[in-house]
Amino acid sequence: MKAGYSDVLIGLQFGDEGKAKVIDIIGKNYDIIARFNGGSNAGHTIATSQGKIALHQIPAGIFYPKTLLYIGSGCVINFEKLVTEIESVDNFGIKLGGRLFISSQASVIQPHHLLIDEIIGKAIGTTKNGIGPAYADKALRSTEKGIVNIRFGDLADNEEFFLKQIKKNLKDTVAEYNLKNIDVPLAMENFKKAYIKIKPYIQKDSLFLTRLVESGKKVLFEGAQSFMLDVTKGAVPYVTSSNTAAGAAYVGGDLSPHFHRKTIGVGKAIMSRVGNGPFVSEFGGEKSEAYCIEGGGNKYGKEAEQKLSVEELLQSDDLFEIGRALRMLGDEYGASTGRPRRVGMLDLVQLRYAVRSNGVDLLWLNKCDLLSDFSRTKLKGIPFVSQYIEEEKSIDYVPSSNVRQRRIKREIEYEKNFPEKIRKLRNFKDLPKNLLHLLARVESDTGCELLGIGVGSKRDEYILKK
Ligand code: IMP
C-alpha cells in the first residue's frame, strides 16, 4: 500500500498572516488538518457568507466535512474555551463528533495557569490564555507540592486523583500570589463540566496519525503563532512559549519527519505584530510600539481609531500616521481583544530569513490588495525593507537578541505604485504590472516560488499563481 505524506504550513512573520484562509483554500487536498503547537492564543477568523467564524484551538479546514481534525501532543488545551468554540462551530451547522481528535499527550491548561498569565504576562504582552505558565509547568513536570504538568490522558486515566491535583495547584497559586475573590469551587466546577464535554474527543493511540498516513492519507500541519515568535528562535522574551518553526510539526504533531513532503510559508504584504518586542519594519517605530501597547487597554483600540479620517492619515508625512490608516484599512486589531496591532512594511530580509530557516518550498502572500493604498499617500511608491545594516555591515538574518534587532538600521526601497483595486481579480496575469514586478522581487529575494496571494478578506478573494 502506498503511504501518504504530510505538508507543513507555518506563518513566517509575527502571526495573523491569514494562515487559516490558506488552509481553507488548500485544505481540500488533505485528509487531515493537524495542530502541533500552541493553544487558544491562536486566533483565526474565516469570513464566510453566513458571517465570521473565529477558531482558536480547532484546526482550520472545518468546511470540508470529510477532513479529520487533529490536535497534537505539542498543544496545550483549554477545555472551557474549546467547548465554546465547538458550540459556535456547531451554530454554523458544522458537527465535530467523529472528526475532531485530541492527543491524550497534550497538556491541560489548568485554572491556575490563567491566573498566573494574567499577573506575569503583562511584560511580554501575552494573550493571557495561560499558555506560558502551561508550557512552563510542562517543562517543570512536578514540584515538591505535586504534579504540575497534567496531560489530557493522565486526567482521563485517573480523574479523581488529577482533579484533586488541579484544585491543589489552583489553591497553591491563590495562596502564593495572595489573590482575592477567586472562587475555587466554582472554577473547578466549570473546569470539570468542560472537561466532561471534551473527553469524547480524546485520542489515546499515539500512532493515530502514523497509521492514517501509512495507509495513504495526507496530512497538513497547521502552525500557530508564526516563526518570529518561536520560543527558541525569536527575540526572547518577546515570543510565545512553544516552537513554531516548521520542524516542530514532527514533534508536537505526532508523526515522523519520514513523511514530510513540502513546507508552505504564509506572510502578508503589510506586516503586523501584537504585544511587545522588536519589529524592524514598523511604521512609526517606537512611537507606534508605545501607542499600540498603551492601546491594549483599548484607549486607542478599534472603536477610537474608526473615528479618524483614513484619507487625512494617508496624506501625512509621518509614517506613524500612515501606519494608523493601514491598520484601519487592514482591520489589524486583535480578534478577541480589539488591541491595535502594530503594522509594518513588508520586510524582505526577515521573509528571506524565515524561508531559509524553515526550508519553505512555497510562499503565500496575503493582503496584497492593501498595497494599492500607497498610491493614496505622498510616498514615492510601495515601501519595503530590502537590507539590514548592523554597525555599518549588511546582515542577511534576523538576530534573535533584542539588543541587536533594535539597533538594526533598515534600508527601504520603493516599488512603483498601482492604484487599481484588485479584490475582484482571479487571474495572476490580470494583476497590475507594478504588483507583478513586486511579487517577482519577493520571489527572487526569498528564492521561493509563490503558490498564491490574498486579494481581500473574504474566503474567495485570492489568486493561485498556477
Ligand atoms: P502568548 O502566546 O499568549 O504567551 O503571548 C506571547 C506573545 O505572542 C505575545 O506577543 C502575543 O501577542 C503573541 N501571540 C500569541 N499568539 C499569537 C497569535 O496567534 N497571533 C499573533 N501574535 C500572537
Minimum-distance ligand 1 atom for the alpha carbon of 274: 12
Best of 225, 279, 337 to mutate for ligand 1, by most ligand atoms within 8 A of CB? 225
Tens digit of each residue's pLDDT (9 = 90 or more) over 426-455: 999 999 999 999 999 999 999 999 999 999
The phi and psi torsions of 3 (rounded to 5 degrees) equal -75, 160
Q: How confident is residue 297, by pLDDT bands cut at 50, 70 and 90?
A: low
Distance CA 306, CA 388 (A): 34
Q: Which residues contact 135 (CB under 8 A, 6 or more apart)?
A: 76, 107, 231, 241, 242
Q: Which residues' Cβ are closer than 6 Å to ligand 1?
A: 15-16, 41-43, 124-127, 129, 131-132, 224-225, 229, 240-241, 274-275
Q: Output the pLDDT for position 48.
A: 75
Catalytic residue (choose from 44, 56, 113, 260): 44
Does residue 46 carry a pLDDT above 80? no
Q: How confident is residue 56, by pLDDT bands cut at 50, 70 and 90?
A: very high
Residue with cell 493571557: 128
Q: How confident is residue 296, by pLDDT bands cut at 50, 70 and 90?
A: low
Angle (CA) 292-46-24 rounded to 5° is: 125
Q: Whose CA is nearest to atom 22 of ligand 1?
A: 15
Does residue 331 carry a pLDDT above 80? yes
Does 16 participate in catalysis according to the annotation? Answer: yes
Does 7 participate in catalysis according to the annotation? Answer: no
Distance 125 CA to ligand 1 centre (A): 8
Angle (CA) 116-200-244 rounded to 5° is: 45
Task: For the chain, give the percent of residues with pLDDT over 90.
Answer: 88
Distance 224 CA to ligand 1 centre (A): 9
Tens digit of each residue's pLDDT (9 = 90 or more) over 84-106: 999 999 999 999 999 999 999 99
CA atoms within 13 A on the CB side of 430: 12
The phi and psi torsions of 463 (rounded to 5 degrees) equal -135, 125
Catalytic residue (choose from 7, 16, 24, 230): 16
Tens digit of each residue's pLDDT (9 = 90 or more) over 371-396: 999 999 999 999 999 999 999 999 99
Count the Cβ atoms, other than its own, within 10 Å of residue 137.
25
